[in-house]
Amino acid sequence: MSFRGIVMADMNVLIEVRGGDPLSLSAVEAVAFSAGPAERVRRAEALLADLPGLGVDVLDDIGPIPLASGPDDPVFLQSPGLFGMTFEGRLADTPGSERTFVVSAQVKPGALARLEERDDIIVWPNSPITLLGDGGAVGDGYFGLFDLAGSGGGTDCRPFRPGVSVDAIRQLLGVEALWRDGYRGQNVIVAVLDEGVNGAYPVVGGFEKDNQKLWGIAPIHSHGSMCAADILVAAPAARLYDYPFLGQPRSGGALAMFQAVLERRRRDGTPHLTNNSYGYVAVPDRATQPRHEIWDINHPLHRKIREVVAEGVACFFAAGNCGSECPSSVCHSSGTGRGRSIHASNSLSEVVTVAAVNSRHERIGYSSQGPGMFDPAKPDIAGYSHFFGNFGPGRPAGLAQPFDNGTSAATPVVCGVAAALASVSPGISPQEMKAVLMESAIDIGEPGPDHLTGSGVVNAAAAYQLLKRRRVPTA
């Protein structure tokens, strides 16, 4: 990476170990969270046994996390679509492919240069992340039927237009078409990776550590509770897993939660989808931080997300709230506007990246603009924001905020539509889900895909019709 020239206190980092302790992948997975903190530290220290005296203090927050392949393996290089994999459950176990492990640590600044010189480890950033609340062909004949908001486009900026009811959003989505046929997201589980979800919502599992249940215990006004409410707009019968970040939200916490998702998926086939309404709000200098999550597509977090998608889990990410017209107050100018505001995991080809519009199909001015920094063709689709879901008059969290907002709210709306569609076709793959959502979206603004709202605004009714026409196989 290089940290040279930067004066700082002890740094939180992720250390990727090549080779080292010849533990099997399953053995490391088993100890990651099921064991106590002392065992996690012992296992991590075993992986770093030949780094004495280098100012490295192992932390017990995430445990050793395995990665399916090394950072230089071509399987993880960016490609137009999903990377080389078998889609029968997991990444191809290529003979001779490098297995590596990631541990969380604090490193003294003076030790970084010495660590960088070693060939058997890589030091990656463990950067803070921000929760993103704001302060077929047209001739197929079914798209226009549900375009109740019109499709003229435009921009909504401060002071924003008033919020609308959940019922108004459901009507715009056309969810009645699915509900009438009995598809409300039943038998579908969505993992919410966030700051935590309140148990008032249908949380049936999630992250546990040291035999302690950490799911369903967040306050009702939490960001994760808002995301939970917004998933249920289109999929009221869906159930939720709660994966709260560990302490201050960082990429290492997200990495740990995705590992927990992967372990659960391999154990029993759930969850089916993940919602990710977080990201970065500034772009660091590439010369001094070339391995920052924004710049390096082979950061362990991005590679782990691609493993999760390879297991058949569709991942939905917020585009961000750093659009040029009225960016969130937390956005830095370095990460605002076209070509700078959709980055890191939120810009991976494999994920569905969601912009925000209001109920009038006006793009909300803080919605981040493409092209994406990894995949230029971002965002993929737009979802509705600024409605009374978790927040608002008579809603569970009351008037703590005027209404559900940000691309944080738009993303779970789209994820909820996907959950309803997954109850139609349980065997649908992430690629098929993404294609169905994008091809059935309501195009707004200039004709065709664009860097403001992607393929257009999500439309549950049109997606349902397209899904039936394609006869996507069930599991």
Top-confidence range, 121-125, 246-250, 306-310 = 306-310
What is the mean predicted confidence (pLDDT) over 337-348?
A: 97
At 249 the pLDDT is 85
The full set of domain ranges for the chain reads 11-125, 131-470
Q: Is the pLDDT of residue 108 over 70?
A: yes
pLDDT at 395 over 80: yes
Q: Is the previous residue joined to 379 through a cis bond, with omega within 30 degrees of 0?
A: yes
Mean pLDDT on 414-440: 96
For residue 295, pLDDT over 50 is answered with: yes
Handedness of CA 161, 163, 165, 166 (dihedral sign): positive
- pLDDT, mean of residues 284-307: 96
Nearest to 304 by CA among 80, 117, 66: 66
Say which residues have a Cβ less than 8 Å from residue 57's Cβ, sequence separation at least 6.
10, 105, 106, 107
Q: Contact, 378 vs 336, CB < 8 A?
A: no
Torsion of CA 145, 146, 148, 153, to 10 degrees: -100
Which range (109-113, 134-138, 159-163, 236-240) has the least confidence?
A: 134-138
Cα 307 to chain centroid distance, Å, stands at 13
Task: Give domain 131-470's CATH number out of 3.40.50.200, 3.40.50.300, 3.50.50.60, 3.40.50.10610.
Answer: 3.40.50.200
pLDDT digit string, tens, across residues 19-53: 644 444 444 444 454 556 566 666 666 666 666 56
304-334 pLDDT, tens digit per residue, is: 999 999 999 999 999 999 999 999 999 999 9
Q: What percent of the chain has pLDDT over 90?
A: 65
Over residues 399-419, the mean pLDDT reads: 97
Instruction: Report how far apart the first and last C-alpha atoms of the chain are (Å, whole number).
Output: 43
* Residues 386-414, mean pLDDT to the nearest whole number: 97
The per-residue pLDDT for 61 is 67
> Between these two residues, 34 and 367, which has the higher pLDDT value?
367
